[in-house]
Structure 1
Amino acid sequence: MISGDSIVALSSGRLPAGVAVLRISGPQTRFVIETIAGGMVKDRTAVLRRLRAPDGTVLDNGLVVFFPGPASFTGEDVGELHVHGGRAVVARMLETVAGFDGVRHAEPGEFTRRAFLNGKLDLVETEALADLVNAETEAQRRFAIQNADGAQSELYLGWRRRLIHARAMIEAEIDFADEDDVPGSVSDAVWFDVRAMIGEIDRHIAGFRAAEIIRDGFEVVILGAPNAGKSSLFNALARRDAAIVTDEPGTTRDLLEVVLELEGVRVRLTDTAGLRDEPGKVEAIGIEKAKAKAHGADLLLLLQDAADPRDIGSLPVAAPALRVGTKLDLLDGRAAQAAAERYDLVISVRDGSGVEQLLADIGQRAARAAGSVGDVLPSRLRHVELLGETNRHLHRAAGDQAVGQELRAEELRLAADRLGRIVGAVDVEDLLDVIFAQFCIGK
């Protein structure tokens, strides 16, 4: 367990607020809590006290809770002061607590860092906690909760345990090759399991795109000729006037983006410049940006004015596309029927026809791309990189049978080391500052 300074910080939300929570952790916590609360506080029981500075000045009336270590979030003694959430109240409370000997203001992520160093969390659970704090959509919340509960860590630690066992079996066969109770067939079973693990890790790595969609969003890009109704649709989906809409071609010159939540998934919707030949200088820049944005899209909405269709040519983009006919309200019955056969979907922003159906379609595609609830996915690029290194070592271990068993066992050790680095089971000091810098001060 870490020792040294105690730390204090505001752990609740932006001020002013109805209630503010100040968190204290470290060896001075009990003394600070009992001094301010004016007496002993029963463990893990919230009590209402008049809170006073050491000189007797009344600071506020609030709830006090004390959690003795190691059964606390950080593994140290932890205290919480629930006070009124006015700026002046909180500033004076923080000043008073930090005025005690051995107590200082916390650095970003320092509470969680102490929890990690005291063995209360591993690195993957720590990163999941940061994701949970920052979650804005239902999919992000579910993903973060699952990983904070240890599903991802258990997967990686399970692979690591299998590799440690495999290495032990190989080394036993090397050391006791002449013994009757160590059969040579042991290595056959080991390498069979290693090859199976390579496939499991490859499939897991392939899920990183779904994790990126959960964290960063499902990218939808609207493309079409000038006056195809792109900005009108963009405003309709955003449910506000985010883009300028006029009859003049080339109104949209730059990329415009809004973020939606559909089916619990973050969806990033981008409006782009109209695609046409011989544009003006500024408009040409917008068109190039539109084409570049399309290359990174998860879904393209290819809009065409169904009453006056104009071709935009082919786009060398592999992303799935929905061909959407617009301005349905301008078509009579026969023309509307023909348009319905020509496009994947026909809409009218003016009267709302087809817009909800289009939203539902985008939401369903985003949900499918984000994966099923319960899928264990790699949540960070560093996980993917270390998993890739793991598999490279496993390929070398399982693939080259001409190499001695000692070298193959060493490759297994290196693979297990890479898995350990993901969860922090081996030395990862160089990663800690980067990871904990994601957290707010009071976490």
Structure 2
Amino acid sequence: MSTIFAPSTAPGKAGVAVIRISGARAGEILTILSKKSLPEPRKAVLRHLYTPKTGEIIDNALVLWFPAPHSFTGEDVVELHIHGSRAIQQILLGSLSEQHGLRPAEGGEFTRRAFENGRMDLTQVEGLADLIDADTARQHAQAVRQLSGGLSALLTEWRLELIQLLAHMEAYIDFPDEDLPAELEQEIQEKVRRLRDKVGTYLHDRRGEMIRRGIQVAILGAPNAGKSSLLNWLARREVAIVSHIAGTTRDILEVQLDIDGIAVTVSDTAGLRESSDSIEQEGIRRAKARAGESDLTILLFSAETFPQIDKETAAQKGPHALQVVSKIDLNAGAEPSLPKGFIPLSTHAAITDAFMQALTKELRALAGVDNDILFTRERHRAALTECHTELEACLQSRGREAPIELSSEHIRRAAQAIARIIGTIDTEEILDVLFGSFCIGK
């Protein structure tokens, strides 16, 4: 296998740049560049680096040597911490490209080698990708748990249970004329039922995907209810045009926010009302569609017309919704008499505390406890669904006293579904997509 190299830091000028080399020739290349023997493993040392052709000094660098298998990739690895000027990086990368057996790494190739050498499983690779992409504290915490093996440990435990169960069942396949002992039959059904219920609990929990992509929040209300003003206030900048003219917003405007460490995408939508304008009708259709796709809806009712409730807006109330009476400063008598479940708000008069407390509370409830092990991708959900289906089929087959071979096949398929999440089988297509999303040098 070729020895590969690439910058591990972002391109361009910086205080420090890191060049990573991995493969059988990594140690030899370090001795060529530094004109010295290899340093003590995993200990940073200061070395001059020289161009192999001319012997000119490239830079004074901090170098680290990680012999296999105790490295990120499981191969011999060298890291060169150099000054981050473009010239130094270009000269060093040019010198490396001239060495026999070395080539530039492809996107994600270092991580792919780590996976192929058993340094991490597929869920940990995904955790690393999420860690690199994390924008908020909750995304960071979730990615660290997954990279540290939390999800992998849970799946490995489930798979081991299934394999042990399969071994017990297949022990009787060679003796087709013998019935399963009653106690073993009961044990099999209890274990399968318990694991099916565990998988089902995780299958219906979408918090991991929600945290990873960001919680989707839609602001809905009649024209001039204050939707655009609320979006601008949340974003702390002028995202949407605010006008007294009804129907200004025709399309959906989105802004990505970090609220209490949680990634949130807030959408401003067209005002909900009856309209003969075809363009406005399309905007209203999109607003309602976005409401159906959102994890949380903010329903705005203007204090100017309260307590009269806009029926178009009220109809969009879903399982997670905040009912907000906006422009509360324009109706001085409304705030003390608001019915239970309605929150006062005025971005103009800074009456925002109750709204932010309610919004943060709802987002925390959707995101859940910070240290939970969560599934984070649609492929996880597809495999869990398959596992759950096979476990249910196994229970049904035992209930009708089907041949043990049929029941054991359901268990085998359930174990294979779990193995696909970890990455021990059927991974090539997944790997191509996943590693293609990594930057060069990772």
TM normalised by structure 1 equals 0.93
Looking at structure 2, the residues matched to 160 and 118 of structure 1 have their Cα atoms a distance apart, in angstroms, of 21
SS of aligned partner of 1:173: coil
Q: What is the aligned partner in structure 1 of residue 14 from structure 2?
A: 17
DSSP 3-state at the match of 2:172 = helix
Change in 2 beyond 3 A, CA 1:281/1:357: same
Aligned with residue 204 of structure 2, among 200, 203, 206:
206
After TM superposition, the structure 1 = structure 2 runs for residues 26-425 of structure 1, keeping only pairs within 5 Å, are: 26-40=23-37, 41-55=39-53, 56-175=55-174, 184-207=182-205, 209-309=206-306, 311-313=310-312, 314-315=314-315, 318-332=318-332, 334-338=333-337, 340-341=338-339, 344-353=342-351, 355-401=352-398, 402-425=401-424
> 2:221–2:300: 8 Å Cα contact kept in structure 1?
yes
Does structure 2 conserve the Cα–Cα contact (< 8 Å) formed by 1:10 and 1:21? yes
Identity of paired residues, percent? 41
Distance change (3 Å), C-alpha of 1:192 and 1:341: closer
Q: Distance in 2 between matches of 1:285 and 1:375?
A: 41
SS at match of 2:339: helix
- Taking the aligned partners of 2:221 and 2:170, their CA distance within structure 1 comes to 64
The CA deviation at 1:360 is 2.6
Which digits, 9 at most, give the CA deviation of each residue in 1:295-351, with x for residues without a partner? 11222211122023472425255342222112222233x34423x337611111112
1:82 shift after superposition: 0.5
Shift of 1:25: 0.2
- 2:198 partner amino acid: E
Question: What's the CA shift string for 1:29-66, capped at 9, x where partnerless?
Answer: 01111111221222211111121110202211111111
- The answer to whether the 8 Å contact 1:123/1:423 transfers is yes
TM-fit CA distance, 1:437:
1.2
Q: Which runs of 5+ in 2 are unaligned?
A: none
Distance in 2 (CA, whole Å) between partners of 1:64 and 1:343 is 61
Query: In structure 2, do the counterparts of structure 1 residues 360 and 126 end up closer, same or farther at CA, with 3 Å as the change threshold?
Result: same
1:115-157: per-residue Cα shift (whole Å, max 9, x none)? 0111111111111111111111111111111111111111111
Count of aligned residue pairs for this structure pair: 435
- Mark the CA change 1:342 to 1:364 in structure 2 (over 3 Å): closer, same or farther: closer
User: Does the 8 Å CA contact 2:48/2:57 hold for their aligned counterparts?
Assistant: yes
Q: Deviations over 1:146-192 (max 9, x none)?
A: 1111111111111111111111111223446899xx95522321221
Shifted more, 92-101 versus 169-178: the winner is 169-178
Contact kept? 2:344, 2:355, Cα under 8 Å: no
Q: What amino acid sits opposite 1:422 in the alignment?
A: I
Root-mean-square deviation over aligned CA pairs: 2.0
Contact preservation (8 Å) 2:299, 2:317: no
The answer to whether the 8 A contact 1:263-1:364 is kept is no
- Is the CA contact 1:65–1:79 (under 8 Å) kept in the aligned structure 2? yes
AA at the equivalent of 2:386: E
